[in-house]
Homo-oligomer: A and B are copies of this chain.
Amino acid sequence: MHATQPTESTALMSRLFAKGNWLLLLLVFVPIALLMEYAFHSSALWIFLASSAAIIPLAALMGRATEQLAERLGEGVGGLLNATFGNAAELIIAIVALRAGLFDLVKASITGSIIGNILLVFGASALWGGIKYPNQKFNSTAAGLSSTLLVLSAAALVIPAIFHMVVPATAGSAERTLSVEIAVVLIITYILSLVFTLRTHKHLYVGEAGPHTDELMPTTSTGKSIGLLLAATAGVAVMSELLVGAVEETAQVFGMNEVFVGVILVALIGNAAEHSSAILMASKNKMDAAITIAVGSSIQVALFVAPVLVFLSYFIAPQPMDLRFTTLEVVAVGISVWIMPIIAQDGESHWMEGVQLLAVYAILALAFYWLPTPG
A342 pairs with B151, CB closer than 8 A: yes
Contact of A342 among B147, B156, B159 (CB under 8 A): B147
Expressed in whole angstroms, the minimum distance between the Cβ of A342 and any Cβ of chain B is 5
Quick one: which of A154-192 are within 8 Å of B by CB?
155-156, 159-160, 162-163, 165-167, 169-170, 174-175, 177-178, 181-182, 185-186, 188-189, 192
| A151 neighbours in B (Cβ, 8 Å) | 338-339, 342
Judge whether A328 is part of the interface by a CB distance below 8 angstroms: yes
A148 & B353 in contact (Cβ 8 Å cutoff)? yes
Stretch at the interface among A11-19, A101-109, A193-201, A243-251: A193-201
Residues of B within 8 A of A265 (CB): none
* A74-82, A210-218, A225-233, A364-372 - the one binding chain B: A364-372
Q: Any chain B CB within 8 A of the CB of A355?
A: yes
A352 within 8 A of B: yes
State whether A352 and B193 are in contact (beta carbons under 8 Å apart), knowing that A151-B339, A359-B185, A363-B185 are contacts in the complex.
yes
Given known pairs A362-B185, A363-B159, the reply for A200 and B351 (CB within 8 Å) is yes
Does chain B have a CB within 8 A of A335? yes
A252 at the binding interface (Cβ < 8 Å): no
Enumerate chain A interface residues (CB-CB to B < 8 A): 134, 140-141, 144-145, 147-149, 151-153, 155-156, 159-160, 162-163, 165-167, 169-170, 174-175, 177-178, 181-182, 185-186, 188-189, 192-193, 196, 200-201, 326-328, 331, 335, 338-339, 341-343, 345-346, 348, 350-353, 355-357, 359-360, 362-364, 366-367, 370-372
